A and B are shown apart, each in its own frame.
Chain A
Amino acid sequence: MHRSAAAAAPRRAGAGALAMTSALAAARLTLVRDLRLAFRKRGQLVQPLVFFAIVTTLFPLAISPELSRLRDVAPGVLWVAALLSSLLALEFLFRDDAHDGTLEQYALSGQSLTWLLFAKTVAHWLLTGLPLAVMAPLAGLSLGVPASAVPGIVVSVAVGSVALSLIGSVGAALTLGVKRSGALLSLLTLPLSMPVLIFGARATELSIKGGDFSAPLQLLGALAVLGVTLAPLATAAAVRINLE
């Protein structure tokens, strides 16, 4: 009705029509900000990786030092350790931003919250999922996995951790309003992560045995794609609810 008056006048005098940041640039800024913040707090970044290393060390101690026996359980060990350490890293995903009001500003920024949170999740994956994919073969080698399996492990952990980060982002957003949410977060996230564990461990197992692991890898990829499509929507909805 009186759209013209409102559109022109309220902008600051002299500034004219101000361009909005494009969605892509906004996502890039969000991503860069998170990476920069993470590198200022390197300790936090390393913790999940150290955790991963420790968990994989526990198994030889608990089972047996025989590499032949360890090789059989290696896929399971690697994936359970990866799942747990990605769960550990989730605590940092939204917590600080919720505390200092950054999420509120994102929700009121005029940009799509879904998109900004997706950018945050990508940053989170770059900081936790990708390093895990690099670490996993090292841990694998210590469990008697042949060197030929390394590419398979890297690829499957890299793809699988995308899905884990996305599922985790939903859980982290849902538990924003809960104090001491660690146990609840695992209760919400782990059952949803089981398909990733199944396909990921299978891909790793096949690559250790020197078989063709493309089928489970494709299924893992399908989960990641499904996660990319749906998880950010659920995450944004959950964040909005917890800002109310």
Chain B
Amino acid sequence: MAWTWFHRLGSPPYIYSLAARLTPWFAWPAAALILGGLYGGLVLAPPDYQQGDGFRIIYVHAPSAWMSLMVYMTMAISAGVGLIWRMKVAHAVAASCAPVGASFTVCALVTGSLWGQPMWGTYWEWDPRLTSELILLFLYLGYMGLRSAMEDVQRADRSSAVLAVVGIVNVPIIHYSVTWWNSLHQAPSVMKLARPAMPASMLIPLLMMLLGFTLFFVAVLLVRLRGEILSRERSASWIREAVST
């Protein structure tokens, strides 16, 4: 049966043990990449010719911003899978994603505003990227708020899944409209990440950080997923066996 793997993915005991086995495979490379990336970015890379050392916050800001979106996508896709195929594990993945994603979003917002201080002279500028990020944080908070407001796990899973799917449809619209709004009111932002001429000594640490953050997210997700599965299946017999061994 070609679908066996899919059904295995729907089995909480299987996922529980799989997550335990996979975690180190993501956690260690993540640690190595992040440490390497930080060293490369904060020590080895030359200061920016315009911003001096201030630009170095990019090594945390850009990966956080990238992850805030990635995690939302992961959350929405797994919520959608859970909704369509009624897969409990997929809902557990979505539920585990939300706080991680919200943390990345907060991190991106904080680093963004810290970066704003030397660049714009203020801690907060209604820059389209930061504004979108702020709305994304509201979307995460709404998702978590809806989950926590519902006592019944199945209902919380399925309702919040609808919200996540609606949210992911809206994310590009929000981003586009915010960019459009911003372009009306001020000159294009000075903060351009995608400068083509970034030298390799700056770019390579950034890519390392991006990959490191992604792996870090997967590792955290796996750990949280195990916790989530434990709390959901606490009355199931396989849990007692898994915990006692």
Tell whether A and B belong to one assembly. yes
Residue A230 is within 8 A (CB to CB) of chain B in the complex: yes
Interface size on A, residues (CB 8 A): 27
What are 19 A-B contacts with C-beta separation under 8 Å? A174-B146, A174-B163, A175-B146, A175-B149, A177-B150, A177-B155, A184-B146, A192-B139, A192-B166, A192-B170, A194-B178, A195-B173, A202-B184, A219-B180, A238-B159, A241-B159, A242-B155, A244-B154, A244-B155
Q: Which residues of B contact A174 (CB under 8 A)?
A: 146, 159, 162-163
- Contact in complex: B138, A190 (CB < 8 Å): yes
Q: Which residues of B contact A195 (CB under 8 A)?
A: 170, 173-174, 176-177
Residue A10 is within 8 A (CB to CB) of chain B in the complex: no
The answer, among A170, A187, A202, for a CB contact under 8 Å with B145, is A187
Q: Is the interface of B mostly helix, strand, loop or mixed?
A: helix
Closest B residue to A205 using CB positions: B184
Place the interface of chain B in its size category.
20 to 34
- Contact in complex: B177, A191 (CB < 8 Å): no
| Chain A residues within CB distance 8 Å of chain B | 170, 174-175, 177-178, 181, 184, 187-188, 190-192, 194-195, 198-199, 202, 219, 223, 226, 230, 234, 237-238, 241-242, 244
Residue B239 is within 8 A (CB to CB) of chain A in the complex: no
The A-contacting residues of B in range 130-178, CB under 8 angstroms, are: 135, 138-139, 141-142, 145-146, 149-150, 152, 154-155, 158-159, 162-163, 165-167, 169-170, 173-174, 176-178
When chains A and B are docked, how far (Å) is the Cα of A230 from the Cα of B169? 10
The answer, among B159, B169, B174, for a CB contact under 8 Å with A194, is B174
- Contact in complex: B142, A188 (CB < 8 Å): yes
When chains A and B are docked, how far (Å) is the Cα of A91 from the Cα of B60? 42
The answer, among B149, B165, B174, B184, for a CB contact under 8 Å with A191, is B174
Given A181-B149, A198-B177, A237-B135 contact (CB < 8 Å): no
Q: Is the interface of A mostly helix, strand, loop or mixed?
A: helix
A-B interface pairs (CB < 8 A), number: 79
- Contact in complex: A188, B181 (CB < 8 Å): no
Q: Which residues of A contact B83 (CB under 8 A)?
A: 237
When chains A and B are docked, how far (Å) is the Cα of A223 from the Cα of B178? 14
Q: Which residues of A contact B166 (CB under 8 A)?
A: 170, 192, 230, 234
- Contact in complex: A191, B173 (CB < 8 Å): no
When chains A and B are docked, how far (Å) is the Cα of A173 from the Cα of B161? 13
State how many angstroms separate the Cβ of A87 from the closest Cβ of chain B: 13
- Contact in complex: B138, A191 (CB < 8 Å): yes
The answer, among A175, A198, A244, for a CB contact under 8 Å with B180, is A198
Q: Which residues of B contact A202 (CB under 8 A)?
A: 181, 184
When chains A and B are docked, how far (Å) is the Cα of A202 from the Cα of B181? 8
The answer, among B145, B162, B173, for a CB contact under 8 Å with A241, is B162
